[in-house]
């Protein structure tokens, strides 16, 4: 008669959990095995999740938090006004170069919004209103935009939308946004003195401006504007990638003008003398690969450099910043008081090096005194693919790209404060302010 006094199952299994030995019964043994197996699998999962996923990159979190990977869909609704094509399509047809120059963001933003899930066809439920005007598409034969007709164009567009839809008059444009990627944003001039004189176009003073220009305490940067990177062609940059194990052997790299010989031959005006100072101080320094020649291997050279200079020109921003970020070269920003793209989402202080314009003669000392672990950390932050994507305007759109960062920025400004809505009959903007030439119809 088999005397198998099987102990109570609960006690047995707990003992098993502790010892895994001494269980004579095969079924409890199997139960033990299952329990241990599950425990190991669970531990394995936990370990793999918490372990450093990729030591090559680091997470980016700016002052607004970890927001680069936020999805704006569902957080806001944008209504796109249907303007006559003389404001957008016809201009583009006249000059298709507008699609590839650095001001092309306005055109691609329009196209993105037309097919985006944040677009709503019902203006009553919209949080933001977008007016598609291609104000930076009047180009000279050499390809530079002339801003002289832009104020009139914008003003006439606003007159149109304020008369055809009630939403402008409700808030006088405070829940509208405009993309103005020109040199000094909505000041619509390429010369800084003139731009400051004009100030932001009076009709746009309450609207949110999405612009590339950003400088603190400057007339042309409104509180609450969203700074974006200039457009840089993503396919061209992708096509010129070199193998990542190519050693970075150039210390500092820069290609561009130091003196604008046509407009400011002596220097001192252009770039507030900063670019000229870079040239005069470092032209004989072998560590500084700087020149005015435009080589065919520009993109490849950037990928072989550790630092890329991004000094100001006539305006503080330039596509160099985008190129430096995409190619993993630490940007050295020489522009006092500049506001960089998506400044609340991207911690530029941790990614780039900021050098005051008066410290340019000491640039080599500044760069070599950065501790190596800081340099490696900056490179890891730059290697993060979400960082690179946030600087680009790819077609077709990708999650986390600059379009989505703009929408994230707009979503962060919601909900609109009550003060935005005007009482009926109240008027804040002065429609007749500004130079007389601006008031002509377009």
Partner 1 sequence: MKLSGLHQSYINRRTNSFRSSGPLDSSSDSAIKSPAAIFWLVFHGLCCLISLLLGYRFSRLVFFFLFSTSSTNFYTSPFRSTAELVKTLDVHSVLSNNPVANLDLPLLNKTVTNSRVVVGRHGIRIRPWPHPDPVEVMKAHRIIEIVQKEQRSQFGVKNPRTVIVVTPTYVRTFQALHLTGVMHSLMLVPYDLVWIVVEAGGVSNETASLIAKSGLKTIHVGFNQRMPNSWEERHKLESKMRLRALRIIREKKLDGIVMFADDSNMHSMELFDEIQNVKWFGAVSVGILTHSVNTDEMADRKKDEEENPRMPVQGPACNASDMLAGWHTFNTLPFAGKSAVYIDDRAIVLPRKLEWSGFVLNTRLLWKDSSDKPKWIKDIDMLNGDIESPLGLVNDPSVVEPLGNCGRQVLLWWLRVEARADSKFPPRWIIDPPLEITVPSKRTPWAFKIQ
Give the interface with partner 1 as residue ranges (CB under 8 A): 55-56, 140-142, 144, 146, 148, 190-193, 196, 215-219, 243-245, 247-249, 251, 260, 262-269, 272-273, 276-277, 280-282, 284-287, 306, 336-337, 357-358, 360-362, 364-365, 367-370, 372, 375-376, 379, 437
User: Least distance (Å) from partner 1 to the CB of residue 215?
Assistant: 7
The torsion angles phi and psi of 73, rounded to 5 degrees, stand at -65, 130
User: Least distance (Å) from partner 1 to the CB of residue 354?
Assistant: 14
Please give the Cα distance from 326 to 339 (Å, whole number).
19
Residue closer to partner 1, measured from CB, 116 or 222: 222
Residue closer to partner 1, measured from CB, 298 or 314: 314
Residue closer to partner 1, measured from CB, 80 or 334: 334
User: Least distance (Å) from partner 1 to the CB of residue 355?
Assistant: 12
User: Least distance (Å) from partner 1 to the CB of residue 18?
Assistant: 36
Contact 393, 108 (CB under 8 A): yes
Length of the chain counted residue by residue:
442
User: Least distance (Å) from partner 1 to the CB of residue 401?
Assistant: 25
User: Least distance (Å) from partner 1 to the CB of residue 285?
Assistant: 4
- 171 to each of 124, 167, 424, how far by Cα in Å? 14, 7, 10
Please give the Cα distance from 253 to 298 (Å, whole number).
10
Two tokens, residue 324:
């430096």
Residue closer to partner 1, measured from CB, 35 or 383: 383
Residue closer to partner 1, measured from CB, 64 or 139: 139
Residue closer to partner 1, measured from CB, 123 or 434: 434
Residue closer to partner 1, measured from CB, 62 or 147: 147
Please give the Cα distance from 239 to 2 (Å, whole number).
78
Residue closer to partner 1, measured from CB, 118 or 326: 326
Residue closer to partner 1, measured from CB, 83 or 375: 375
User: Least distance (Å) from partner 1 to the CB of residue 107?
Assistant: 22
Contact 191, 270 (CB under 8 A): no
Closest CA to 214 of 321, 115, 317, 301: 317
Please give the Cα distance from 67 to 404 (Å, whole number).
11
User: Least distance (Å) from partner 1 to the CB of residue 216?
Assistant: 8
Residue closer to partner 1, measured from CB, 148 or 421: 148
User: Least distance (Å) from partner 1 to the CB of residue 441?
Assistant: 14
User: Least distance (Å) from partner 1 to the CB of residue 140?
Assistant: 6
């Amino acid at each position: 008669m088999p005397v198998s006094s099987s102990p109570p199952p609960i006690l047995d299994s707990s003992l098993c959990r502790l010892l895994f030995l001494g269980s004579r019964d095969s079924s409890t043994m199997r139960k033990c095995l299952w329990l241990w197996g599950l425990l190991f699998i669970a531990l394995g999962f936990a370990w793999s999740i918490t372990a450093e996923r990729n030591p090559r990159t680091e997470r980016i979190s700016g002052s607004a938090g970890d927001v680069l990977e936020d999805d704006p869909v569902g957080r806001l609704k944008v209504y796109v006004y249907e303007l006559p094509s003389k404001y957008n399509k016809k201009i583009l047809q006249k000059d298709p170069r507008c699609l590839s120059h650095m001001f092309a963001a306005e055109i691609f933003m329009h196209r993105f919004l037309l097919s985006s899930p944040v677009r709503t066809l019902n203006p009553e439920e919209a949080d933001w209103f977008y007016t598609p005007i291609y104000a930076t598409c009047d180009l000279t034969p050499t390809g530079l935009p002339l801003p002289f007709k832009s104020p009139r164009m914008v003003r006439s567009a606003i007159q149109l939308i304020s008369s055809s839809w009630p939403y402008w008059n409700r808030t006088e444009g405070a829940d509208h946004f405009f993309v103005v990627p020109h040199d000094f944003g909505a000041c619509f001039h390429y010369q800084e003195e003139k731009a400051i004189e004009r100030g932001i176009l009076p009709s746009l003073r309450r609207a949110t401006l999405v612009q590339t220009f950003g400088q603190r305490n400057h007339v042309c940067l409104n509180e609450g504007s969203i700074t974006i990177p200039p457009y840089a062609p993503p396919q061209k940059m992708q096509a010129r990638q070199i193998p990542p194990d190519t050693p970075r052997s150039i210390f500092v790299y820069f290609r561009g003008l130091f003196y604008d010989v046509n407009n400011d031959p002596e220097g001192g005006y252009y770039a507030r003398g900063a670019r000229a100072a870079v040239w005069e101080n470092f032209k004989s320094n072998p560590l500084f690969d700087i020149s005015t020649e435009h080589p065919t291997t520009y993109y490849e050279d950037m990928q072989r450099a550790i630092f890329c200079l991004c000094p100001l020109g006539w305006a503080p921003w330039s596509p160099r910043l985008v190129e430096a970020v995409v190619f993993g070269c630490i940007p050295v920003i020489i522009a006092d008081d500049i506001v960089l793209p998506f400044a609340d989402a991207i911690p530029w202080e941790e990614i780039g090096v900021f050098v005051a314009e008066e410290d340019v003669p000491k640039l080599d000392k500044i760069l070599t005194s950065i501790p190596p672990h800081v340099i490696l950390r900056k490179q890891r932050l730059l290697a993060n693919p979400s960082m690179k994507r946030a600087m680009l305007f790819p077609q077709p759109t990708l999650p986390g790209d600059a379009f989505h960062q703009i929408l994230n920025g707009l979503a962060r400004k919601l909900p609109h404060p009550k003060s935005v809505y005007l009482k009926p009959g109240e008027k804040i903007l002065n429609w007749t302010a500004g130079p007389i030439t601006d008031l002509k119809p377009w």
